[in-house]
Structure 1
Amino acid sequence: MAEVHIIGQILGASGFPESSLFCKWKVQMGSAWRVLQGDHEGQTQVDDPSDEPMANWCHPIDLHCATNGLQESFNRNDHLCITLIFDYIYIVGWPKFHLQVWHQDMYGRNELYSYGFCHVPISPGLHEIDCVTWRPKGTLLEELKTEFIGGSSQLKNPDLVSSSAELYKLRTVSMGKIHLRLHIIVRNFDKYGVEF
């Protein structure tokens, strides 16, 4: 059984129009993967920095997951499927973070600010990741409502965040970045022909 241990932190967020932010996160993986130990989803505390441009969460991540076979779960046309994205190689089904940033107003109401996702790095070691986030752009009437009343447009299915086939159809507005520090430990991948 090939194993991946993800240890690290969701450090915080920067570049958002308001402070008083928190993050909901979830690690998604292919059907051949399972969680051995740790939480695969959670939520940070609300941070409302008065003088800093960054919301600091330092939320711990400690997740141990495994797969019984890479070839079996990711095989298409008898070839191991990989995708090259910005100098990183990701195996289809490899774990990835789904992230949502929420804003809490002075009345304690929460509104979704943005969505983002990033792949867990495939190479072992320490990785600093800046995950860019976005929100759906509404119609003119929806954007005016957001400006004066609050709230924002939301996806009916948040799992579409990492689906590039569906995402290109959306009109979006850039938001801030979420900063992660992850230590990746891998084990027994050599049995499946994967060398690091």
Structure 2
Amino acid sequence: MAAVSPSVFLLTVNGQIEAGNFPEYDNLYCKYCYVYGNDWTPTFGLEEGITQITCKGSQSNKLIWNFPLETTFKSTSPSGWPQLVVSVYGPDVFGNDVVRGYGATHIPITPGQHSRTIPMFVPEPTWRLQKFTSWLLGRRPEYTDPKVVAQGEGRGVTRVRSQGFVTVSFHIMTKDMRKLGYDTGPSTTQPYSTDWSAD
């Protein structure tokens, strides 16, 4: 009996939002979500989440979250490959939660262990008066939908300022990509050469 050819492939994302470096700020937390194309559907795990609040150690500027990520997607096409969007928030001098950084990275294509450093940025007011009133009122510029940072449309008109970075680790597994004609290169998951990573 002939084997049935698969109609979809699977992508499993495990890992963690490890740490952040924001020298000017403390007591920060992250929100995360995924942005993906129309052919993609999450089948397991969380599409979005929020970490705990963490503060810096006495010897370092590093903020440690070690917040787990675990999601599986299915798709018929690699077009619209998922991106992880991270937003970092913390209190201002008035105790209001304000955005301290936005950033995004594509989920690695190759199975195995990966580490990514995501540069973060914040939107800036255009005029000095706007800057002063936003500080005074505790209403800093921010996106109504953080997913906009993973899309090209409408971002070109935004004025931004670099603002620290976040490190993320990934363990990627795929299934049936090669059977559908997609080659993602050699797998780096030798200990995990199961049906998943080997395709």
Q: Which runs of 4+ in 1 moved over 6 A?
A: none
Structure 1 position 108, deviation (Å) = 5.3
**1:179 to 2:167 alignment:** yes
Higher strand share: 1
Aligned to 1:63: 71
**1:127 to 2:114 alignment:** yes
Aligned to 1:7: 14
Of the three residues 23, 41, 52, the one matched with 1:34 is: 41
Structure 1 position 150, deviation (Å) = 3.6
Superposed CA RMSD:
1.8
**1:161 to 2:149 alignment:** yes
After superposing the two structures, state which structure 1 stretch, 165-174 or 35-44, moved more: 165-174
Computing the radius of gyration over CA atoms, which structure comes out larger, 1 or 2? 2
SS at the partner of 1:166? coil
Number of corresponding residues: 175
After superposing the two structures, state which structure 1 stretch, 166-175 or 141-150, moved more: 141-150
Q: Which runs of 5 or more structure 1 residues have no equivalent in the other structure?
A: 71-90
Q: Distance in 1 between matches of 2:39 and 2:143?
A: 27
SS at the partner of 1:27? strand
Structure 1 position 101, deviation (Å) = 0.5
Q: TM-score, normalised by structure 1?
A: 0.82
Q: Distance in 2 between matches of 1:116 and 1:105?
A: 20
Residue pairs, 1:183-194, within 5 angstroms: 183-194=171-182
Structure 1 position 92, deviation (Å) = 3.3
Q: Which runs of 5 or more structure 2 residues have no equivalent in the other structure?
A: 1-7, 186-199
Q: TM-score, normalised by structure 2?
A: 0.81
